[in-house]
Structure 1
Amino acid sequence: MDIMLILQVIVLLGAIYVGIRLGGIGIGYAGGLGVVILGLCLGMKPGSIPWDVILIIMSVIAAISAMQLAGGLDYLVQIAEKILRSNPKHINYLAPTVTYFLTILAGTGHTAFSMIPVIVEVAKEQNIKPSSPLSIAVVASQIAITASPVSAAVVYMSGVLEPLGWSYPLLLGIWIVTTFAACMLTAFIMTLITDLDLSKDKVYQERLAAGLVNPPKGAQHIELKPGAKLSVGIFLIGVLLVVLYATAISKIGGKPVFIENVIVPRDAAIMSFMLGVATFITMLCKIEVGKIGESSVFKSGMVACVCVLGVAWLGNTFVGGYTNEIKGLAENWVKAIPALLAVVFFLAAMLLYSQAATAKAITPVAVAALGISAANPGDAYMLVASFAAVSALFVLPTYPTLLGAVQMDDTGTTRLGKYIFNHAFLVPGVLAIAISVALGFLIAPMFA
């Protein structure tokens, strides 16, 4: 290992560390600074910026922001709260189910923000530590990105795998089954191994004595705006059209399902459909366009875009400088133990802070290393099976929904440890990804 490599690794990890310390959008800022230092001081060519990932995130966030302003998110939260309160003792299963399907629908895990206060309230009413359902729910909202038909990660990965014989509907089916089953199995395991009795938690008792814990308020009635239900209907139609179009242009057995000469590719279709959805919501629900930029979803979505820009660009710059070396290691390790591809995805996701950016940075290297091609697609099932591992955004306690869960749990049971990694989300997150990958390696070869 030469001195230049050591310095480049120090800059890479140093930028990530500074970003973690800054928090929020600062992670993106520090990533851009790292690119400057690697390029101007250490001679590395700046990597590619994942524009397609950023633009898909922006367009989806634009549609969800319009729906939020029309009251659609309040309506969805109202439905979700009814589901949670229908059987509150099973909140460990219902909470991740709700956040999972909200992410599937919206293509972003930021929708989990709206559910965190509800989960805390219901858990307190049942004398259950909120940390248990919250940790599983946040992890479920992240892993569901790898099964959402409108997420940038799924769009990219399906584009890579389709020429290798994997159709879009088949991929969605495998990823939804494996990831959701993994979330439910994780909830089962965490329920068995966790002491759920809130009254026994020392931190909770201290906060309760200090008057820092708000008493449960019970079900809250939200006065819906006139266009709330209509906005959700428009958004659902948009998502359905995305799925139908993506299926129509996909290929099964090398033959197109419906459309042979594809003029609008899948990523462009998602962007245009989502912007179209935002247009119809704006017109038909009569919302004020000027207020869309003030919505919480829009702000958090734009922060996510900057984070992806900075951190993914930094990661691509470093990976691009050592493509051949990484390719050689991947070829030796992954061929010997296929599941190690999931480990590579997992470790990269910790640093790149985005499922889509991780998939885009690592997949081409893995494809080249394994010699996968349209003529020789034999090992492509490894990519299908390992895809869920790009969701390891919970490892470093910096992701917005993770921090939101810590801040909104006034009982103090959802907390960060002194040693960075010992937080409430690590064990359920690792379990969910490990089970997803294991199920993937069990199911995917059946369709190879």
Structure 2
Amino acid sequence: MSSFGFLDLAIVLSVIFIGVRLGGIAIGYTGGIGVILLGVLCGIKPGEIPTSVILIIMSVIAAISAMQLAGGLDYLVSVAEKILRKNPKKINYLAPTITYFLTILAGTGHTAFSMIPVIVEVAKEQNIKPKAPLSLAVVSSQIAITASPVSAAVVYLSGVLEGFGYSYIAMLGVWVASTYLACIITAFLVTKFSNLDLSSDEYYQELLKKGEIVKKEKSTQIISKEAKLSVAIFIIGVLAVVCYATYLSGLKAEQIIIPRDSAIMCVMLSIATFIVLVSKINTSKIIDTSVFKSGMNACVCVLGVAWLGDTYVSAHSAEIKDFAKNLVEQYQFLLAFAFFFASMLLYSQAATAKAIVPSVIVALGLSENPENAKIIIASFAAVSALFVLPTYPTLLGAVGMDDTKTTRIGRYVFNHSFFIPGVLMIILSVALGFLFVKFI
């Protein structure tokens, strides 16, 4: 332990723990305190600020916020609600599928917020405990970040690994196939082996007798033409990003004029501009949208924890490289454990990848053995363990909005409704990742 710096590690874990306890944006704040303490008490120079990751998140959120103000998110939710209500008995499969693909499209799991009330109501109508579809939907929205072409985590990792001979579209194919199939298999297991009978829940029956369970009216919101156009513009932009990233895979570094990071930022800001022009929304109201607020919250969190993580990792890079090399050479799957536990604390897929991957690349000797990059590709989904500590916004939102109270956080912190589905989903994603990566 001493080789990794006991005091350094104690500072990092302590400030992260305090940030998690304070909740929300505070984990970003405490990350800054950690950087100061590492410098003053341990003589460690500040690490690299994850500027590109933060800027990508900002640009994507800017576009989605404009789409939300134009009514585009309401339109997507209305479509999703119709799908759920037409097939209510399949809610355990449809709920995670919808939040998964909303995240794929938007590059942020916060879009799941809009689906939570709908999932709760449809589940109640079918006498299904909402905790089953809610837990699956929330975790799916987190793991889909590692398969979204516009997420900062995917843009970062694909950009790094392309230099070792792996194409963007091939990596994206592995991530989409492995994570979505894992979502469906987990949904099957939860449906097969869980007690889904809502009427059998004693606490729910007590609430029912007290009249605290209220049936909400179905949405009758009128969707404007501008709302539909905003969604179309956004989808076109996402496809443009995928096509351009695929095109870049075949070019040498000196042939690239606009790098992928810059391209996604340009495209997202352009999307926002076109949405504003078409829908004629009041741009001063964009900063008041829920997506903009949650996105800026994410930026501060990434700034604090990723900067803190990079500061610690940079100071002990030699020890970490040796440790990771010895560990992964013996047991390849253990990289997934490193991703899993780091993302628990760093609270961000992009921040986790940014903090750990550079050391792992050196440890695995990818320059001499590019084949080892497949270990990173297969293990990537494990950076989505944000559900382990029950403090993530969408997780808390699901608990708060489930008026049946079947979605709960246990007294022992880890025994909450999302833990088992989440762990299952990550294990399956990594296992399938190692299977599918053999074909690229």
Q: TM-score interval w.r.t. the shorter chain?
A: over 0.9
Correspondence for 1:317 among 311, 320, 323? 311
Bigger drift between 33-42 and 105-114 goes to 33-42
Task: Assess if the C-alpha contact under 8 Å between 2:4 and 2:316 holds in 1.
Answer: no
Task: Assess if the C-alpha contact under 8 Å between 1:153 and 1:356 holds in 2.
Answer: yes
Give per-residue Cα distances to partners, 1:61-117, cap 9 Å, x unaligned: 000000000000000000000111111011000000000000000011011110011
Partner of 2:43: 43
The answer to whether structure 1 residue 107 and structure 2 residue 107 are counterparts is yes
Give per-residue Cα distances to partners, 1:15-47, cap 9 Å, x unaligned: 112111211111111111121112122322211
Give the letter aligned to residue 231 of structure 1: S
* Structure 1 ranges of 4+ moved more than 3 A: 1-4
Task: Please list every run of 5 or more consecutive structure 2 residues that lacks an aligned counterpart in the other structure.
Answer: none
The answer to whether structure 1 residue 423 and structure 2 residue 431 are counterparts is no
* Deviation at residue 210 of structure 1 after TM alignment: 3.0
1:345-364 to 2 correspondences below 5 Å? 345-364=339-358
* Deviation at residue 216 of structure 1 after TM alignment: 4.5
* Deviation at residue 330 of structure 1 after TM alignment: 0.7
Distance, in Å, in 2 between the alignment partners of 1:396 and 1:316 is 22
* Deviation at residue 138 of structure 1 after TM alignment: 0.5
* Deviation at residue 193 of structure 1 after TM alignment: 1.6
Specify whether residues 318 and 227 from structure 1 end up closer, same or farther in structure 2 by C-alpha distance, changes over 3 A only: same
The answer to whether structure 1 residue 332 and structure 2 residue 326 are counterparts is yes
Residue 208 of structure 2 aligns to a residue whose secondary structure is helix
Give the letter aligned to residue 269 of structure 1: A
Correspondence for 1:432 among 406, 420, 425? 425
Partner of 2:370: 377
* Deviation at residue 137 of structure 1 after TM alignment: 0.5
Specify whether residues 320 and 207 from structure 1 end up closer, same or farther in structure 2 by C-alpha distance, changes over 3 A only: farther
1:379-394 to 2 correspondences below 5 Å? 379-394=372-387
Distance, in Å, in 1 between the alignment partners of 2:223 and 2:33 is 44
Please give the TM-score of this superposition, normalised by the length of structure 1.
0.96
Bigger drift between 312-321 and 408-417 goes to 312-321
Task: Assess if the C-alpha contact under 8 Å between 2:3 and 2:319 holds in 1.
Answer: no
Structure with the bigger percentage of helix: 2
The answer to whether structure 1 residue 126 and structure 2 residue 119 are counterparts is no
* Deviation at residue 312 of structure 1 after TM alignment: 1.3
Task: Assess if the C-alpha contact under 8 Å between 1:312 and 1:353 holds in 2.
Answer: no
* Deviation at residue 261 of structure 1 after TM alignment: 1.4
* Deviation at residue 212 of structure 1 after TM alignment: 2.5
The answer to whether structure 1 residue 153 and structure 2 residue 153 are counterparts is yes
Task: Assess if the C-alpha contact under 8 Å between 1:249 and 1:260 holds in 2.
Answer: no
* Deviation at residue 3 of structure 1 after TM alignment: 11
Distance, in Å, in 2 between the alignment partners of 1:407 and 1:440 is 34
Distance, in Å, in 2 between the alignment partners of 1:181 and 1:230 is 31
* Deviation at residue 128 of structure 1 after TM alignment: 0.5
* Deviation at residue 380 of structure 1 after TM alignment: 1.1
Partner of 2:75: 75
1:15-30 to 2 correspondences below 5 Å? 15-30=15-30
Distance, in Å, in 2 between the alignment partners of 1:198 and 1:4 is 49
Please give the TM-score of this superposition, normalised by the length of structure 2.
0.97
The answer to whether structure 1 residue 300 and structure 2 residue 299 are counterparts is no
Task: Kindly report the root-mean-square deviation, in angstroms, between the aligned alpha carbons of the 2 structures.
Answer: 1.5
Specify whether residues 426 and 286 from structure 1 end up closer, same or farther in structure 2 by C-alpha distance, changes over 3 A only: same
Distance, in Å, in 1 between the alignment partners of 2:224 and 2:261 is 32
* Deviation at residue 164 of structure 1 after TM alignment: 1.2
Give the letter aligned to residue 249 of structure 2: S
Task: Please list every run of 5 or more consecutive structure 1 residues that lacks an aligned counterpart in the other structure.
Answer: none
Bigger drift between 5-14 and 72-81 goes to 5-14
Task: Assess if the C-alpha contact under 8 Å between 2:199 and 2:205 holds in 1.
Answer: yes
Distance, in Å, in 2 between the alignment partners of 1:409 and 1:284 is 37
* Deviation at residue 205 of structure 1 after TM alignment: 2.0
Residue 196 of structure 2 aligns to a residue whose secondary structure is coil
Partner of 1:175: 175
Distance, in Å, in 2 between the alignment partners of 1:10 and 1:418 is 25
* Deviation at residue 8 of structure 1 after TM alignment: 2.2
Give the letter aligned to residue 11 of structure 1: I
Partner of 1:165: 165
Give the letter aligned to residue 84 of structure 1: L
